[in-house]
Structure 1
């Protein structure tokens, strides 16, 4: 019995300037964000030789760009939307993990970043 290969395709340390946040100032000034995502997918093809046999990481980046361009209040909403769109558009994806880091959260005397991550399994 042949095993079906499982691959992981990732986008790492993808930087965006976006306008997510609860506070009006965040919607005006924006913030710097870093996205990391990993999508595990299976394929019936034992050899990947064509883009049609895999998932185009440029298309994954397009999904991230689309969601990051629409300001929302919560980081959880952003990661949920990205993960759901990937699962919807790519039925071969078995699991997707997305993290979103806000590099300068509006917290007094805070030196660090805030990160939200989601892991969805089909």
Structure 2
């Protein structure tokens, strides 16, 4: 199994439940791992692997579409990766909000989600 990792991707976006978050936005960090079995080894052609720039572009586009919950972003994005990248067998994604709007809260909040292609039935 081969794994492609995109780590510590930073985005400014307007995800959130509260009006302040929707208006001001927040800093988010995303980590994604996509796993698959390559059809040949060694891999020497980009068309025979999963291009991480395409994954990044999908993430960038989805970050521009505000959602209320990080859970929504994580699950919908993982499913979209499986739909768009037919080689992908498993996707793990985490999204971290750097400054949650909670009084006296020090730290970050994050949501993680993993799914395999075999779990994709009816999703």
- TM class by shorter chain equals over 0.9
Provide the C-alpha distance between the structure 2 equivalents of 1:81 and 1:11, rounded to a whole number of angstroms.
17
Q: Quick one: which of 35, 51, 61 aligns to 1:40?
A: 35
Show CA shifts across 1:24-53 (max 9, x none): 110110000000000001121122001011
Provide the C-alpha distance between the structure 2 equivalents of 1:61 and 1:47, rounded to a whole number of angstroms.
24
- Structure 2 spans left out of the alignment, 5+ residues: 118-123
Contact persistence 1:96–1:120 (CA under 8 A): yes
- Structure 1 spans left out of the alignment, 5+ residues: 1-5
- 4+ aligned runs moved over 6 Å, structure 1: none
Task: Give the Å deviation of 1:107.
Answer: 0.5
Give me the TM-score of the superposition, normalised by structure 2. Answer: 0.93
Q: Which residue number corresponds to residue 62 of structure 1? A: 57
Contact persistence 1:95–1:121 (CA under 8 A): yes
Computing the radius of gyration over CA atoms, which structure comes out larger, 1 or 2?
Answer: 1
Provide the C-alpha distance between the structure 2 equivalents of 1:87 and 1:56, rounded to a whole number of angstroms.
13
Coordinate RMSD, CA, aligned: 0.7
